[in-house]
Chain A
């Protein structure tokens, strides 16, 4: 039931781009993306609810594919502040499902 994230880790130089993927074995109701800095609680980035949906937040955006089983997070022109671990959280489609489970995370390191 846990979504699968890839890659597990990535190192970028400032200004480079990255893509983090999140996939599920079943159709999803929603996908959530969070970033966690070391020693802190995760911080919400965005939520995607509809197949085909794309959202942007400054230089961070995400997509949710039509079949609603995969999402990707796009980080463009990375900054040092983007460093952290990124988690996708997923909830299966279907009535009465309130479980929100997270992938194992992708550790992103941005270096000067």
Chain B
């Protein structure tokens, strides 16, 4: 069966520090991968998605970036965090357009 791993679960970082969140999927190949952010009490904002290695589409211009160095690995990064980057970051995957989206457990990021 397929599983998605996302870490860390919680993170507290000072303003201006770098960020690296990692997500990996097991049990499938060539998944569609997604990063979403959810501000406190708000909806799910699509940040990046990828349909293949090295293929990244960005939905929101900001100081975040994403990379997919391996087929089942998706990384979210920032060189310098802002207070507004605080939120609940969710990685998700699906097999194809006809399949459900499966979310990881999320990373709760607090920028202080």
Q: B-contacting residues of A (Cβ < 8 Å)? A: 2, 29-30, 32, 34, 40-44, 47, 49, 87, 89, 91, 98-105
Chain B's interface size range is: 20 to 34
Out of A2, A30, A42, A101, which one reaches B103, CB within 8 Å? A42
Return 10 A-B CB contacts under 8 Å, by A number: A2-B43, A30-B97, A41-B105, A44-B100, A87-B43, A98-B57, A99-B49, A100-B94, A102-B43, A104-B42
Total A-B residue contacts, Cβ distance less than 8 Å: 55
Distance of A78 Cα from B101 Cα, bound (Å): 25
Are A41's CB and B101's CB within 8 A?
A: no
Tell me if B46 is interfacial: C-beta within 8 Å of chain A: yes
In the complex formed, the residue of B with least CB distance to A42 is B103
Distance of A91 Cα from B94 Cα, bound (Å): 13
Other than the known A41-B103, A42-B90, A102-B44, what 5 A-B pairs have Cβ atoms closer than 8 Å? Answer: A41-B105, A42-B44, A99-B57, A99-B59, A103-B43
Distance of A34 Cα from B49 Cα, bound (Å): 19
Residues of A with C-beta under 8 A to B104: 41
Distance of A103 Cα from B93 Cα, bound (Å): 19
Out of A32, A49, A91, A104, which one reaches B43, CB within 8 Å? A104
Distance of A76 Cα from B43 Cα, bound (Å): 24
